[in-house]
Amino acid sequence: MAGYRHHKRLDCEDHCFLHLEDSLYTGIIKNISLGGALVHFFHPLAVGDNCKLSMSKGLLCEFTCKVVRVEAPNVALKFIDIDITNAFEH
């Protein structure tokens, strides 16, 4: 079922940071839920890639994510883990 979701999603336009290997990139969170986020992001990613996501305001935590869908320039991320002790400093 195409519209099925495990968690309710909230639309937003918040800036975020994606940490890939040793680099930090900016993006915009288009929507977010307890299970993941859709991020507008121009750096090339592939399904199965791992990254870390941090918000530029609000939540001070770091989400370990896996890319589950790429529809450029949007990337769907599934949250694997949340670390509130290793947040990016802004």
Instruction: Give pLDDT tens digits for 75-90.
Output: 999 999 988 765 455 4
Q: What is the pLDDT of residue 51?
A: 94
Instruction: Give pLDDT tens digits for 19-75.
Output: 988 888 899 999 999 899 999 998 888 999 999 999 866 557 889 999 999 998 999
Are 56 and 71 spatial neighbours (Cβ–Cβ below 8 Å)?
no
Q: What is the pLDDT of residue 78?
A: 96
Sign of CA dihedral 12, 67, 20, 88: positive
Sign of CA dihedral 55, 27, 34, 54: negative
pTM summary value:
0.81
Taken in order of first residue, the domains within the chain and their CATH numbers are 10-83 (2.40.10.220)
Mean pLDDT of 1-23: 78
Q: What is the pLDDT of residue 90?
A: 44
Q: What is the pLDDT of residue 80?
A: 96
Name which of 62, 50, 57 is nearest 87 in CA terms. Answer: 62
Q: How far apart are the first and last CA of the chain?
A: 39
Q: What is the pLDDT of residue 77?
A: 96
